[in-house]
Every structure is written in C-alpha cells, then in structure tokens.
Amino acid sequence: MTKNATAQSLNEQFGIPETLRFEDPGQGMPRAVITADAATAVIYLHGAHIAEYQPTGDKPVLFMSPKSNIHPDKPIRGGIPICFPWFGPNQHDPTAPPHGQARLAAWQLTQATKLPDQRVQLTLTRDIAPFRLTFTITVGQELQMQLRTENTTNQPAQFEQALHTYFTISKIHDIEITGLAGLSYIDKTRNAERLTQANPPLRFEGETDRVYINHPGHCTLHDPGYKRNIVIEKHNANSTIVWNPWTDKSLKLPDLGDDDWPGFVCIESGNVADNAITLAPSEAHEMTATLRPQPQA
Ligand SMILES: O=P(O)(O)OC[C@H]1O[C@@H](O)[C@H](O)[C@@H](O)[C@@H]1O
C-alpha cells in the first residue's frame, strides 16, 4: 500500500461487505468506516486517527470538534490523536510540531480483518525515524488499541507517547475520575509544579492539565448525566494525562468551538516526562489501552 492510498484503492484491497468501507470526505484524506455487530467506528489514515467510536445502543464515546481541521498538514481536534515521539512542545526545538509528527503523518493500512468473534481489526504502520510504529485497533463492545514502537537503528533511542483520547461527556462539572488518588502529577496550569492528588475522585472546577506519572494502573470516567462509566485499562503505559481547556484556553484554540469545553474531557494513556521510554537497538515496546463503556448501576 502506498502513502497515497485512495478510498477506491482501499476499498478494492481491504473492503469487507457490510462491515468495512472507505470514503474520502475531501482533501485526499481517506477514512475507514466500520460497522461491526457491536459498534461503529471511523478511522482516518491521517494520523491513524480514530475519529468516532460508538457501541451499538450506546451514545458516542468520543468527542470530535465540529471546527476541527481535516487537512493533511494539521492535526484533527477530537477522537484519539497519537502523540509521538514527544508529548507537548518539543524540548529542543520550539518550531517542531507539538505532540510530535505521528498525528500529522499519513499512515499505511496493512491489514483489515473481521475476527471470528465479529470484532473488526485494522493495523496501520508508519516509520518516524528512528522508529517503526504499528497501531492495531480492534472495534467491538470495547475499543482496543495497541501501539508497538520498534527502534530500527543500532543506537538507543528515546520517545514519549500518548493516546490523546477525547471523551464526550454530559457536562464537565458533573463528571469524576477515579483511579488517580494519591498519585504525583505535573500541573501544567501551574508552571509544571509537582503536586499529589489528595482527595479522590478528581472533579473539575477550572482549566485542568495534569500529567500523572508512575501510574501503571487503570482509571474510570464516571458520567452520571450519561448514566455511563468508561473504564480505561492500559498496559505498559505508566502515565495518564487529564486535560480540559475550560473557557479562556478554548478561546485560543481556533479548531475548537468557544462553548465546546464542557462537553469533553481528555484522559490520555501514555509514557511521558519521567516515564519516557528508551529502547535499545532493535528493541520494541508495546503499549495497549482499552476503553470499556459500561452502564451505571
Ligand atoms: O492543542 P494540542 O496541541 O492538540 O494540545 C492540546 C493539549 O493536549 C494535552 O495533552 C496537553 O497536556 C495540553 O497542554 C495541550 O494544551
């Protein structure tokens, strides 16, 4: 598959009747439209970006900004951008794109399968020197993601990574997140001050931009308005990032509506800051994250 795959060539090579088709909403940015028994999903090859995921009979899980750019040179605002090989601004080059090149790159689809249990699985790859990335997405009652990173050189190489998941929520003031109590975090709204979260659960009263480090465990988003919990289970991911821009920051983001911020929260699984990964020559690392929506009891 070439980098310039079209919706037509993708349909010819990977289409699965009534289950997987490809379309191009414009700008030469083909996307996969998945209709599995248990869920639907939309995935752009640009950035290997999951834009939509909705279990059958449930509300959408992901927020997508109606003002998002859909352009080969721009990141998509919403869904699940992949941050790689750095997180946030580049430490050495302020002109480098924030959150790295992976979300700006054209990925290649290498495999699309309907599994015996009816889930649908796509695999996308992309080289971002010195790394080879392989992203495997499995769409069913849960959304499973695995990001494999291989060091293709004969030198050690370091990276950061995050699956920057935008969850759609009923209202930011009403949700809470459990699973983060007692953890250290870097507060990016306070000059990267290091603090400890004392009181479980996390609730939101203003701009929130926290990098929880040394958190190999899971966390849960509780949304009473949507009567839904979403368990975020991860492996080989020692950081959790929580972000909501609130009012003033939203005004500075042209690809986000001024009034969209109460309707989403980002809970990101990754390895950033103290948890950056160094790979030996030819070594590989696999991070997985699973989003598991559940009705509230
Ligand atoms: O606007 P971007 O580059 O998509 O980043 C959005 C946010 O992403 C979060 O992950 C960061 O912690 C925030 O600092 C950042 O503002």
Domains in the chain, CATH or no CATH each: 7-295 (2.70.98.10)
Ligand 1 pocket residues where CB is under 6 Å: 75, 88, 98-99, 164, 188, 209, 241, 243, 266, 268
Residue 250 has pLDDT above 90, yes or no: yes
Atom 1 (ligand 1) nearest CA: 253
- Strand arrangement of the beta sheet that strand 49-55 belongs to: 20-23, 31-35, 39-44, 49-55
Atom 2 (ligand 1) nearest CA: 98
Pocket test for ligand 1, best of 82, 99, 252 (most atoms within 8 A of CB): 99
pLDDT at 198 (0 to 100): 85
CA distances from 173 to 120, 257, 284, 292, 297 (A): 35, 18, 40, 22, 21
ipTM exceeding the 0.95 mark: yes
- Residue 88 Cα to ligand 1 midpoint, Å, equals 6
Atom 15 (ligand 1) nearest CA: 88
Answer yes or no: pTM beyond 0.90: yes
Ligand 1 atom nearest the C-alpha of 81 is: 4
Residue 64 has pLDDT above 90, yes or no: yes
Residue 206 has pLDDT above 70, yes or no: yes
Ligand 1 atom nearest the C-alpha of 211 is: 12
Residue 1 has pLDDT above 50, yes or no: no
What is the per-residue pLDDT across 135-167, written as a single tens digit (0 to 9) for each?
999 999 999 999 999 999 999 999 999 999 999
pLDDT at 3 (0 to 100): 52
- Cα angle value 49/54/55 (rounded, 5°): 130
Dihedral-angle region of residue 242 (phi above 0 means left; psi in -120 to 50 means alpha; beta otherwise): beta
Atom 4 (ligand 1) nearest CA: 77
Residue whose tokens read 């992203």: 135
